[in-house]
Chains A and B, each alone.
Chain A
Amino acid sequence: MSEIPEELKYTKSHEWVLVNEDGTMTVGITDHAQELLGDLVFVEFPEVGNRYGTDEACGVVESVKAASDILAPVSGEVVEVNEALSDTPEVINQDPYGDGWIYKMRPDDVAEVDSLLDAEAYRALIEAEE
């Protein structure tokens, strides 16, 4: 069973969200997602400074097997991307919740993050998928 840290929030499209103390949120893809995709070879980041709406495609992770859109969990503005992944996208496979973080966003309404899935709900979702 893939790893699902308790303190994070999750989307149906297999992104994870960590709310930071400064009000921004960090976004990546889950262990389950990286396992499905296999070895990642490219990451297309969202544009820093761009605004995205909830569930809008803002980037792409591409593996040998398939390309997958990264969606914005809630609406907001992208403030930072994890440039290091350009050279070593496989870090997402190795450490999806740590060094494999993909971008940071300032959400329009932090409260919207509360309505995302918690760890238990996400676990139920992927169990149903299998």
Chain B
Amino acid sequence: MGKRTPLYEAHVEAGAKLVDFGGWDMPLHYGSRIEEHRQVRRDAGMFDVSHMGVVDIEGPQAQALLRRLLANDVARLRAPGKALYSCMLNEGGGVVDDLLVYYLSDTNFRIVINAATRETDLAWIAGVARGFQVSVRERPELAMIAIQGPQARAKTVPLLPQALRAGAQGLEPFFALCAEDRFVARTGYTGEDGFEIMLPAEHATPLWNALLGAGVRPAGLGARDTLRLEAGMNLYGADMDQTVTPLESGLGWTVAWEPAERNFLGREPLERQRAQGPSRRLVGLVLEDRGVLRAHQRVFAEGGEGVVTSGSFSPTLGRSIALARVPLPVGEYCEVEIRGRRLRASVVRPPFVRHGRSCLND
């Protein structure tokens, strides 16, 4: 038996197929991952993401710690509630995790880290935090529900505590609102609009049931993976890990090089790689034929051999897509070895789907 979120019973009741994910018993799907995916693109679906780690970083040197710890620069955050996506690097420039950081004040930040790397991250942060005047406090008593899709916000706002509704309605993308024990962020991992809501565990099931009543459909980890892949979003552990840098993972845009004096962890080796030019890049693949691209498949590209880092079937496009790490130079086509045969794929720049529609030129 793995760890269980506060919504475990709700998943069982909804007919979930439960699987182990990083030591947690989580819903893979509730009947059809493809239907759940479609529901999010068309209407609204909800995900239990309570297994992710919520960590509050508070104190006089909170900002200083994060400017050392993260490759992106939290000094860019001035408005309360504003969010930033960043990688956390090791001394070699490899990625320890990717995360979202929310600015609440100069001395108060919240970060959300991946479930599978929760323990490693916490140990890493604690090590770096030594010598900084700061408290690093995990919030395991909070549950988290992500409601995503074109109708997500409209269906969710009326179900929030009365005092929050106007504020939630007016939230800009990539901003959060913190009040009445609720943390409502207009963020997500699907490429759709929506909210991620952190709330005390005892309020999770009532909110889940209220959302069910409003026609929001439960969606599992299977749909979560196909949605984020269509949206061109990386998955830690698949698309990047401690052995690769952000520059080799399509995440160069998340690194804040200016100001040059900001000596974030991993800066030096990353600068060297940037100066030389990285030798590998993360690209998108679209399989031209029938078949499914999957992680670890060999890729034969213009610059040499690469590998698929994550792949799946795209319900929106009706064909298979993937992210792959290939050597430079990057061409327009490549071949992928699938069960002994080499199938042709086109090389594209993600995302594959935006606003529910294909970004590809066909």
Please give the residue numbers on chain A whose beta carbons come within 8 Å of chain B beta carbons, in ascending order.
Answer: 38-39, 41-42, 44, 62, 64-65, 67, 90, 93
Q: Is the CB of A42 within 8 A of B292?
A: yes
| Segment among B27-35, B74-82, B199-207 that sits at the interface with chain A | B27-35
Q: Is the CB of B312 within 8 A of A64?
A: yes
Note all chain A residues with C-beta closer than 8 A to B226: 64
Residue from the list B29, B34, B312 in contact with A90, Cβ < 8 A? B34
Q: Measured between C-beta atoms, what is the minimum distance from B174 to chain A in Å?
A: 30
Q: How far is the CA of A37 from the CA of B222 in the complex (A)?
A: 12
Q: Does more than half of chain A's interface fall in helix, strand or loop, or is it mixed? A: mixed
B contact residues, total (Cβ < 8 Å): 12
Q: How far is the CA of A74 from the CA of B312 in the complex (A)?
A: 33
Q: Is the CB of B34 within 8 A of A39?
A: yes
Q: How far is the CA of A41 from the CA of B222 in the complex (A)?
A: 14
Instruction: Tell whether B130 is near chain A: CB-to-CB under 8 Å.
Output: no
Q: Is the CB of B290 within 8 A of A64?
A: no
Residue from the list B32, B290, B339 in contact with A39, Cβ < 8 A? B32
Note all chain A residues with C-beta closer than 8 A to B291: 42, 62
Q: Is the CB of A42 within 8 A of B290?
A: yes
Instruction: Tell whether B313 is near chain A: CB-to-CB under 8 Å.
Output: yes
Render B12-34 as a binary contact track against A, CB cut-off 8 A, 1 for contact. 00000000000000000100111
Q: Is the CB of B339 within 8 A of A64?
A: no
Note all chain B residues with C-beta closer than 8 A to A64: 33-34, 222, 226, 292, 312-313
Q: Measured between C-beta atoms, what is the minimum distance from B261 to chain A in Å?
A: 47
Q: How far is the CA of A124 from the CA of B283 in the complex (A)?
A: 47
Q: How far is the CA of A62 from the CA of B32 in the complex (A)?
A: 15
- Top 8 nearest A-B pairs (CB, nearest first) are A39-B34, A41-B313, A64-B313, A42-B290, A62-B292, A39-B32, A39-B33, A64-B312
